[in-house]
Structure 1
């Protein structure tokens, strides 16, 4: 029996090679590479025969497109991108192409699902039908390597190295399948150089959120505490300097790895600008595409007085050469089912039919820490039961007891489930549990039913890369309220040419140059914005709902995503060929 090197052995060998250990090491690594390549084709043929029932001849002649998405069953906006893209490619290329999804959600045991169960959830959550005959799932048993709970320290570095091992399992493991095109739809860029070196196949990347961004660097530099910068670090000048040095070196490695992709798509203007800043390319006006090279150098981040981030500044690509290849970073907005959601009643009267009817504030987001659900609960508490000396925010015409807060979203694992329980406890502590409801892992029809009758859509994440749920709020007829940053600020909640709002933005507290907070907490900013929306006359609310829906339909429909996606992958498909 031939022993296939474990992913760990391969990555150790690559590190040794990078260190220039010896000619013997180099030869050993080249041998591993040749062995893995020689195993790839017959192993793939056997997988297609076994899982899809193809004949050997059919399996040999199928082009294979692989989607790396370890959390394919999570039910969030990133998964909508995955399944919409896959459905579009099945429709356009299904006759000669097989599609592989690499995921840790597949298999037997607690938290795992079968292929049929995953496809059923995709249909229930997103209304997307997939053809099972051309779709194969490869299980990832080492997914824990990319979970933040695995890495209590140096989380970014640990998860990034873990993603390399996970990709190796996907391609070279016992159930691995090497595709003709490798597409990463979650942003694990550190694996790209290894995929290119080992198998020399086209690599595509759809980035929802940069692994590291210039905003993250700026928070450390200006010692601002937050989700990615603990207060214990922010309060220490020494720790902040050490972390900044670590982040800067990590950012260079990330940019170099990302530059190995043959096609890079970003889900928003904010993401694209940060990729540009990391990759060291000058932005081409404010268009949807930016030419990039294959190098990265010094990190540059500027900050306005008061702490607000400026447009990310290019990293100087000092190591770039005239012969370096150029590609495009394309902004491809995530798809939204605007046709279905736009069928919901639009008027305020349909959502709040009488002066005694409940007024529902609806949140839709995965229960992850960066989604800031605690901020939503605190904002709601400040709105309905302000404690002295807190201000009374609602106008006298609105009885606080009429308000309801509904927090809907999916959970991925035990950590997410525990987070929901802690939020329930917080609601009790804030004395708003009687007016708060949690809707966990609900099917698509139930989510739609909530959006059909809710009045305001609430989204509190800071630096939300895009914010597809904010678009869903617009299309469904809710008045969205989101944080004034990233996707909601730059792409989604933009006024119409006539100046009519398509939603509202809650600003962050400002900071002094020393990092001390000078304004009220973020939850009060959201509470004030909610009070403002609820106090608007019905006619003004209706005008905003109408403008928001038209904006969503025009700019974020599924058809618009499919056009952008097809442009992004056509070069990858053209470069791929199926060997005899």
Structure 2
């Protein structure tokens, strides 16, 4: 009996010691907050649309509140203030007013996909809590700004006394994902083994349901949630339930820099460009299949097209996916017609866009689709997935003129490729011009205006 009592005392004392340590850390965090905006963006080398948003957001804050320091929390250990300043300009054409300060994170492995072979979503989410704890213990800003979609970090930032702002590109879990598991559809985030099993599918539905409730709770901790599209706004609204604190701000697209490219371009050979990170959800393998089918459908006298993959690799897994695409091109016997460009500079990206007559995109439920807007602004006719952002916000008629094509399967993509290649030059130019006008809705300048209007009440509550 005495031993049990001593054990109870020891456990109680340990628990109270941990709670007291937690209170001290949080109290010190609250009292030591710096007049700064801390941007939580663990991967500052991903090269995608999310990184463009980061640098444009940093620039917007520097213009709106120059008295606030901008801090970037990054897990890239070679990143420095000067290197990030140069990267923003060289990779995205964003000229920051001054270099951001850098806080290096050393626990990034806890948010990496490879760390969680199973229960990846919840594993990465709880891993982000640990990573944000490291970040906020090292530097506690007045404003915590998440630009990478780690909603589980918001309660942590609130406990440190930060005002929480986020720019959400896509929900970690969506009602569409839940419905697909219900329907037992196999996808990159729903293995065939699970899809074929009624029991496993039922278990995953329960897992997703519980996770969606947790996601809704942590997301509601944001003081301001900016979303990038109608599709994302709809899902975040249903999950987070903070409509008065949710603002739609379309992401920044370099429409002005791309609109100077001439619409007339060489079609010998006709080039089709694909701009996306080498990630499973981008479904570049489907593009290769469609390209192979399209070549077979073209008449012998039609020019043989080229497909150009342009993207970035974040890690070894992405490198492996890139190699798999190259191997697939060989298997489909189109390796002579396919080119791969990895981690290109912004200048080279513009050059490649300027030579393409079409741009292809194949991610299902792409939250927005910056690359689709870039195609349109550059004069390349978009061939995009018939879902979410491209369907609801981007590839819409302009003055009753078609601005591109939407497709869902390999056959539809192949047919669209054939149509673009074989359409008369005047028809292509008319469609490309209409697409370019439509792209004006998503300009970088429009982003700055909408972004500042959204964050001003949070950063400058007394301003009118």
Taking structure 1 as the reference length, the TM-score comes to: 0.75
Tell whether the 8 Å contact from 1:263 to 1:569 is kept in structure 2 after alignment.
yes
**Paired residues, what number?**
452
**1:185 counterpart = 2:166:** no
1:67, 1:184 within 8 Å by CA — same for their partners in 2?
Answer: yes
TM alignment of 1:510-549, pairs within 5 A: 522-549=409-436
Moved over 4 A (4+): 21-24, 39-42
Within 5 Å, give how 1:336-485 maps onto structure 2.
336-347=253-264, 350-352=265-267, 357-384=268-295, 386=296, 393-395=297-299, 397-399=301-303, 402-485=304-387
Q: Distance in 2 between matches of 1:398 and 1:142?
A: 54
Aligned counterpart, 1:500: 401
- Given candidates 119, 134, 138, the residue that maps to 1:169 is 134
Tell me how far 1:568 sits from its aligned partner.
Answer: 2.1
Name 1:63's counterpart in structure 2.
Answer: 35
Residue 486 in structure 1 maps to residue 388 in structure 2: yes
Deviation for aligned residue 1:277: 2.2
- 1:122 paired with 2:39, answer no
SS of match in other structure, 2:141: coil
**Change in 2 beyond 3 A, CA 1:548/1:213:** same
Contact 1:76 1:365 in 2 (8 A): yes
Match of 1:146 among 111, 119, 122: 111
SS in 1 for 2:273: strand
- For 2:314, what is the secondary structure of its paired residue? coil
Structure 1 residues 343, 421: CA separation in 2 closer, same or farther (over 3 Å shift)?
same
- Could you tell me how far apart the structure 2 residues matched to 1:121 and 1:74 are? 11
Q: Structure 2 unaligned segments of length 5 or more: list them.
A: 1-10
Deviation of residue 571 (structure 1)? Answer: 2.5
Tell me the equivalent position of 2:196. 235
Aligned pairs for 1:7-46 within 5 A: 25=15, 28-38=18-28
> Deviation at 1:92?
2.5
Q: Distance in 2 between matches of 1:226 and 1:412?
A: 22
| Deviation at residue 41 of structure 1 after TM alignment | 5.7
Once residues 413 and 424 of structure 1 are traced to their aligned partners in structure 2, the CA distance between those partners, rounded to angstroms, is 17
Name stretches of at least 5 consecutive residues in structure 1 with no aligned partner.
Answer: 1-20, 45-61, 282-290, 293-326, 387-392, 508-521
Distance 1:501 1:475 in 2: 15
Q: Deviations over 1:401-445 (max 9, x none)?
A: x21010001111121112111111111111111111100001011
User: Is residue 73–residue 118 contact of structure 1 (8 Å, CA) maintained in 2?
Assistant: no
**Helix, strand or coil for the counterpart of 2:363?**
coil
**Candidates 191, 197, 222, aligned match of 2:183:** 222
Give the helix-richer structure, 1 or 2: 2
Alignment of 1:559 onto 2:445: yes
Offset of 1:37 from its aligned partner?
Answer: 3.1
Take 1:219 and 1:423, find their aligned partners in 2: how far apart are those partners? 26
Distance 1:193 1:505 in 2: 39
CA RMSD, 1 decimal: 1.9
> The residue matched to 2:460 in structure 1 has which SS?
helix
Q: How big is the shift at 1:271?
A: 0.6
